[in-house]
A = this chain, B = another copy of it.
Amino acid sequence: MARATVQDVAKTAGVSVGTVSRVLNKSPAVSESSKEKVTAAIRQLNYRPLASARDLRRDRTLRILALAKNLNSPIISEAFRGVGDAAASSGYVSLIAPTAGDPEREQQLVDMLRNGSVDGLIMFSPTMPDEDVDEMAEQLSVVQVCEIADSEAAFGVSIDDRQAAFDITRHLIETGGRRLAMIGNRAARSGRLREEGFRQAAAEAGISREQTLFAEGEFDFHTGRRLTRELLKADPLPDAVFCGSDTVAAGCVREITDAGLRVPDDIAVAGFDDSVQAEMCVPELTTIRQPAYDMGRLAFEELLARMTVPGVHRRGRTFLPHELVIRDSTKN
């Protein structure tokens, strides 16, 4: 049994396709009686309007797509929840796809916006260079979250990464940290901004760059352990480590503990994100809370504005406030 079409419904209901379509779209210009006939026919034939035909005619899909490197980042999944809720309340369906950091995969997904498979795009962690994001944003509905390209058409929602890193580093210093270390990721813009904040806080406390340690790598648990192992070879040892994510911080704490040292007494550790990992860690992690859900909501609102008012290319970033969450992994 092939799929039923408006034609079939019209025939079964004994009305014209126009009337069927009007019923489908809740046009008020339909008599009660034909509305009933059409509704009955739709049920009888188990009819669903074909998305591609509708999209073609209407020139929009009411779908948006979010792109992220991977799905298991707690910040991303929380932000995406915000996107989804905001989208739903505006009648949009929101989908997400991981790029795995593969430029080809990313390109293929971005093409979904170019070819009209979706109306808008939310980018969490672009792999493509800033210029490309920029160029795309010129003509298409794109909003960035967390990672915002530093360019002309920069636009999107995030926290102030530099300030957040500054705040938490200052906390480390205020609680006695002098020999500071950071585990960061220079591949990401946010990572570079956090490094800036870290260095600025150190500098303001009169700690020279040479007294400072820096290790670089991806933000996963095992990398955290490995990089910490490197840091622990330093002499003198660091007494405070700022990590770019809670997961890395968990690895850091683990490695310190395994080395027979105590957190925070010997070495204080700070994370970033306030994910559940921060609470799972022993001791629980001092960290930076990102308002991920709200960032997602706001990102969708921004996107909606771009999609519906085509001329509007509201520029600029929106920064949401972060929060320093102090727990037991740093002294007090």
Contact = CB atoms under 8 A, between A and B. Distances in A.
Interface in A98-126: 98, 100, 105, 108-109, 111-112, 114-117
A56 B65 contact: no
A99 to B, nearest CB: 10
A71 B80 contact: yes
A261 interface: no
Contact of A53 (B56, B80, B109): B56
A94 interface: yes
A227 to B, nearest CB: 16
A37 interface: no
Contact of A95 (B88, B96, B100, B247): B96
Contacts of A281: 280
B97 A95 contact: yes
Given A95-B95, A277-B280, A105 B88 contact: yes
A56 B50 contact: yes
Interface size band for A: 35 or more
B95 A81 contact: no
Given A93-B112, A115-B48, A72 B74 contact: yes
A108 B254 CA distance: 44
A115 B96 CA distance: 19
A250 B281 CA distance: 10
B114 A48 contact: yes
B280 A117 contact: no
20 contacts: A48-B111, A51-B117, A52-B55, A71-B72, A71-B76, A71-B77, A71-B96, A72-B72, A84-B97, A84-B105, A88-B108, A93-B97, A93-B108, A93-B112, A220-B276, A221-B276, A250-B280, A251-B280, A254-B280, A257-B282
